[in-house]
Structure 1
């Protein structure tokens, strides 16, 4: 049994949807049939249920790369083969608006966890192509704009770096905290991994933060996107 996810053989499905926020995990579990709690240790709530007859797990990662990496490592030990993060992000590119959805094709590892996994050497944490394609094709059915491209993963949520403009020039769409670490662990453990995020603000305008009601409504589309992608994956 893993140290943090107190689950055993057969408790977790081969495919898992990941959320940083346990409240989002609980909401994801509510979209499954027969969801059963398999972990609540350390607040990392996890459930396994069915979606159209297919076993699916939903698992909290907590905030940031270190916690997300631990969770993905332990999910791999429990037999998970595909992970899809359904999270939130802040827009960097002018073309990306608050409450849009962003699907990551890759994530710049500007976080400590990714650097530690790679020894600080150059590395490209990319998403799995099949998972990314399933997310993007599923995005055609949701009622808001969907973008696909590059994220940057950083550790310091409240830092306002002068580098936003540099990331913008490099074609980065949005910033979040976990995707690079998740992709890095997945690549090293032989898992398929993808990420789709709801944009909740713009990094250059903290007053742009979406209201709780707007985020809750848009999260329904994020969940729909993730579950539709699960249906497309085999």
Structure 2
């Protein structure tokens, strides 16, 4: 009984920022939920676990356009986050709520970089949430990121491409139930 639009947003903050801006300002979308894969940076966040992004740190320059005189931390919508966590718990999913890193760099030449973020308690790395959360905050709408761990960076374990196509349904089901 609800209208839901599902679309690809490309890869990275510039791409999702373009699409989310248009969804908000052209089409009037008020709730934006990103689903996707992430790489765990913490030992206790394992393959197939669900990560619900409370905040999104970034190494991107995207936030500079807002001319904020300091360091601003883009956060998700607590209303959507609370619903997602409740739904994950009801399903018995292993889920983690916290900070993610939205990185502009997929293959980093500095192999120490992710360890520095991990020491600060960042749960996982992905590439879009900071831009999505910033656009949503600037427009006064709600946004959330829900991820499935595809790579466990501390151990080097990874899911296969086939597993990524078929086994990441819990995060999608959670996103579809959020009202």
* Fold shared per TM-score above 0.5: yes
Tell me: CA distance 1:134–1:92, structure 2 relative to 1, closer, same or farther (3 Å): same
- How large is the Cα RMSD of the aligned pairs? 1.7
Structure 2 gap ranges (5+): none
Tell me: CA distance 1:68–1:136, structure 2 relative to 1, closer, same or farther (3 Å): same
Match of 2:121 in 1: 171
After TM superposition, the structure 1 = structure 2 runs for residues 195-234 of structure 1, keeping only pairs within 5 Å, are 195-206=145-156, 208-229=157-178, 233=179
Match of 1:67 in 2: 15
User: What is the CA-CA distance between 1:202 and the residue it aligns to?
Assistant: 2.1
Partners of 2:164 and 2:92 lie apart in 1 by 14
Partners of 2:64 and 2:45 lie apart in 1 by 28
Tell me: CA distance 1:144–1:59, structure 2 relative to 1, closer, same or farther (3 Å): same
Superposition misfits of 4+ residues, deviation over 3 angstroms: 115-121, 141-144
| TM-score for the superposition, normalised by structure 2 | 0.91
Partners of 1:192 and 1:161 lie apart in 2 by 34
User: What is the CA-CA distance between 1:214 and the residue it aligns to?
Assistant: 2.2
Kindly indicate whether structure 1 or structure 2 has the higher relative contact order, using CA contacts under 8 Å at least 6 residues apart. 2
Of 87, 102, 106, 1:138 maps to 87
Contact 1:109–1:115 (8 Å) recurs in 2: no
Matched residue count: 177
Partners of 2:103 and 2:3 lie apart in 1 by 32
Q: What secondary structure sits across from 2:123 in the alignment?
A: strand
Residues 39-61 of structure 1, C-alpha deviation per residue, up to 9 Å, x if partnerless? xxxxxxxxxxxxxx111111211
Structure 1 gap ranges (5+): 1-52
Partners of 1:88 and 1:111 lie apart in 2 by 19
Structure showing greater radius of gyration is 1
Greater strand content: 1
